[in-house]
Amino acid sequence: MLARATRLPIPQRAFLASTRPHQLLLQQSRTFASTFTRFSNSKDNKVKAASFDSFNEEVIASSVPVIVDFHANWCMPCKLLRPILEKVVAKTKDIRMVTVDVDEEYKLAKQFKITSLPTVVAFHKGKPIHSFIGAQHPPGVERFVEEVIKRATNQDDD
């Protein structure tokens, strides 16, 4: 005997019809973003947000390597990458992190030719020394930071 398909009551059908997967993902990312914002304020000043005006002071004039995270609030891979970056930077000595929202600081994005998000660029003595594009797993971010420290050390020796 064939099983008969059951029909959902009208209010449940209307809810399911109005709820698309991308809407659920957007709702989940908003929840993640609000939770993330509460816990992402670093107390040791290793992570700061930079504007076009403060970029020279925070990044270019810095004597230690600075990792710059170019991101946007609507970018889900950016939201996934940022806590990983913050955690790795917090564990590492002599390195800082600056975040740049490309929607608000479009001049910086244009200046550094940022075309994909997230883009992470490491600077030392005012020059970019290493970068990657796209979300990375924690081991990849750790290798990136190790390489930044190695290149910064080599640059100091020169």
For 90-101, give the DSSP string.
Answer: HHSSS-EEEEEE
Known catalytic residue: 62? no
List pLDDT tens digits, range 102-158.
Answer: 999 999 999 999 999 999 999 999 999 999 999 999 999 999 999 999 999 998 877
The pLDDT of residue 82 is above 60? yes
CA distance 17 to 31: 22
Q: Binning pLDDT at 50, 70 and 90, where does residue 34 land?
A: very low
Rounded distance, CA 72 to CA 118, Å?
8
- Told to judge if 68 belongs to the known catalytic residues of this protein, a careful annotator would answer no
Kindly report the pTM of this predicted structure: 0.72
Chain-wide mean pLDDT for the chain?
A: 82
CA dist., res. 150 & res. 20, Å (int)? 47
Catalytic residue among 47, 50, 68, 75: 75
Q: In which band, very low, low, confident or very high, does the pLDDT at 10 lie, cut at 50, 70 and 90?
A: low
**Quick one: average pLDDT of 18-43?**
47
Question: ∠63-60-79 over CA atoms, to 5°?
Answer: 100
Q: How many CB atoms lie within 10 A of CB 125?
A: 14
Per DSSP, the chain holds a count of helices (H) and strands (E) of 6, 5
41-157 classified as CATH 3.40.30.10: yes
Q: Are strands 47-49 and 96-101 parallel, antiparallel or unpaired?
A: parallel
What's the CA gap between 68 and 128, in Å, rounded? 10
pLDDT over 90, % of the chain: 66
Which one from 59, 66, 68, 78 is the annotated catalytic residue?
78
